[in-house]
Copies of this chain bind each other. A is one copy, B any other.
Amino acid sequence: MSYEILEKTFYRLAQLDHAGAMLGWDQAVMMPPGGNESRGRALAELQVMTTEILQDPALQDHMQRALADAASLPPWQQANLREMVNDIKSANAIPKELVEATVLATNECEHAWRSLRPANDWPTFEPMLTKVVDLTRETAQLRRAALADEKGLVSDYEALVDIYDPGTRLAVIDPVFDRLKAELPTLLQEITARQSRAPAPLQPQTSIDKHRQIALARELMSILGFDFDRGRLDETAHPFSGGVSDDSRVTSRYDESNVFEGIMAIVHETGHSRYESGLNPVWRYKPVGGSMGMGVHESQSLFFEMQIGRSRPFVDAIAPIIRRYFGSDPAFSPDNLYASYTRVAPGLIRVNADEVTYPLHVIARYEIERDLINGDVTVADIPELWNAAMSRYLGLDTRDNHQDGAMQDIHWPSGAIGYFPSYTLGAINAAQLYRAMLRDIPDVNGCIGNLTLTPIFEWLSERVWRHGRLYSYDELMTRATGETLNADHFLNHLQARYLGNETSG
Residues of A within 8 A of B (CB): 11-12, 15-16, 18-19, 22-23, 26, 30-35, 37-39, 41-42, 45-46, 49, 227-232, 243-247, 284-285
Contact = CB atoms under 8 A, between A and B. Distances in A.
9 contacts: A12-B49, A15-B45, A19-B19, A22-B42, A30-B30, A35-B244, A35-B246, A37-B246, A38-B244
A495 to B, nearest CB: 42
A232 B22 contact: no
Contacts of A34: 227, 229-231, 246-247
A32 B285 contact: no
A153 to B, nearest CB: 33
B42 A232 contact: no
Q: Which of A19, A39, A229, A230 has the most CB of B within 10 A?
A: A19
A11 B44 CA distance: 12
A26 B19 contact: no
A37 B39 CA distance: 24
Contacts of A16: 45
B46 A19 contact: yes
Contact of A285 (B41, B46, B246): B41
A340 B83 CA distance: 64
B245 A30 contact: no
Contacts of A229: 32-34
B38 A246 contact: yes
Contact of A247 (B31, B45, B228): B31
Given A12-B49, A45-B12, A49-B12, A18 B32 contact: no
Contacts of A232: 30, 32
Contact of A19 (B42, B230, B245): B42
Contacts of A30: 30, 232
A3 B254 CA distance: 52
Nearest to A41: B15
Contacts of A32: 228-232, 247
Nearest to A52: B12
A19 B38 CA distance: 10
Given A34-B230, A37-B246, A38-B245, 18 more contacts: A11-B45, A12-B45, A16-B45, A18-B39, A18-B41, A19-B23, A19-B42, A23-B23, A30-B30, A30-B232, A32-B230, A32-B232, A33-B229, A34-B229, A34-B246, A35-B244, A39-B247, A41-B285
Contacts of A245: 38
A114 to B, nearest CB: 14
A59 to B, nearest CB: 15
A71 to B, nearest CB: 31
Contacts of A11: 45
A115 B26 CA distance: 26
A230 B35 contact: yes
A294 to B, nearest CB: 22
A257 B247 CA distance: 33
A244 B33 CA distance: 13
A26 B22 contact: yes
Contacts of A285: 41
